[in-house]
Amino acid sequence: MHRLCGYASTEKGFIRAWLQRLASGMALASTLLLGQTVVAAGIDGVSVTASLLEQTGASIDEPRLEVTAGGKTLSLSRSELLLRSQVITVQKDSAYQRTMQYRAVPISVLLPSAADHASVQFVASDGFVANIAGQDLAGVGQAYLAIEELAHPWPPIDANNPHKTASAGPFYLVWLDPVAGKISNEQWPYQVAKIRVEQPLLQRYPRLAPAQINASAPAMRGLQVFLKNCAVCHKMNGAGDAEIGPDLNLPYNPTQYFQTEFLRKLIRQPSAVRTWKTSLMPGFDVKTISNAELDDLLSYLKAMAKSQKHESVKRQ
């Protein structure tokens, strides 16, 4: 976007020429990302965007979404995405905890080959990173990317938490049938800035797994619970993508400094153990993490405490 910003006050013809260049770039990228049928729509879409800009004088300094697959990156503006959007109703919205209506683009349009990818990464602007299986994105959960319109801003995520007064926009991954798709609350990344096809987290960071000798069956099941629910915010053993919460193994593992029962309580409902206004960690109820899964998660955390030097990771 920064390239266009500089031209904001220059002539419209200039903007049109720039958008035409963007259009040819999109045609190239779209073979990869958007499939044959959307190539034309992409080029069309961009020229419509140009005329929209001219008619409405809309701000061209608008949010953009980066989509990377096969080593190529496409940058899509909000208006380009809106042109491909439809209106959807989300019954049990995760960020807003109520029924919401959105303009949204099906993930199958953004990433037609989603099912072929083991893992797709959604990077939020606040450091939250969800790695979601391509099968889930293409599956019965029905994934859409909701787009916040300039004229219809969404409400704050939590007006009472000074760290959560922004909305879930500009881009937010929502699901029409999260129950059928077994989609957890941590698979609704909001404030999305980038979508990237990536190797699965564990493949990129083998030291997220306990060292062989500590890897009991419950610990390995707990690893999966961790990857789905916790790795979106926490690093572990120095490994992972997220930047929101503390590393849960270095320099020490919470099982080393919390009594087990309080750790259980904290995972179920952090405010039951300690509370302050800007806390960011959500609680996990039994529907999200069953009692058996919580046991597995604790086995995993304990196994990791014994794996702190695993793969030459050193305690600081």
> Does 67 interact with ligand HEC (rule: CB under 6 A)?
no
> Does 266 interact with ligand HEC (rule: CB under 6 A)?
yes
Position among 80, 126, 148, 186 found at the interface with ligand HEC (CB under 6 A): 186
Question: Quick check: 148 and 172 in contact, CB under 8 A?
Answer: yes
Q: How far is the CB of 289 from ligand HEC (least distance, A)?
A: 6
> Does 166 interact with ligand HEC (rule: CB under 6 A)?
no
Question: Which of 33/298 has CB closer to ligand HEC?
Answer: 298
Question: Which of 34/263 has CB closer to ligand HEC?
Answer: 263
> Does 133 interact with ligand HEC (rule: CB under 6 A)?
no
Q: How far is the CB of 70 from ligand HEC (least distance, A)?
A: 29
> Does 183 interact with ligand HEC (rule: CB under 6 A)?
no
- Please enumerate in sequence order all residues whose Cβ is within 8 A of that of 36, keeping only pairs 6 or more positions apart, or say none: none
Q: How far is the CB of 156 from ligand HEC (least distance, A)?
A: 16
- Please enumerate in sequence order all residues whose Cβ is within 8 A of that of 294, keeping only pairs 6 or more positions apart, or say none: 225, 264, 267, 268, 284
Strand-by-strand arrangement of the 64-69 sheet: 72-77, 64-69, 192-198, 119-124, 129-132
Q: How far is the CB of 126 from ligand HEC (least distance, A)?
A: 9
Q: How far is the CB of 264 from ligand HEC (least distance, A)?
A: 10
Site string for ligand HEC, 232-251 (x = CB under 6 A): xxx---------xxx-x---
Give the count of residues interacting with ligand HEC (CB under 6 A). Answer: 20
Residues that bind ligand HEC (CB under 6 A): 186, 229-230, 232-234, 244-246, 248, 254, 266-267, 270, 279-282, 284, 297
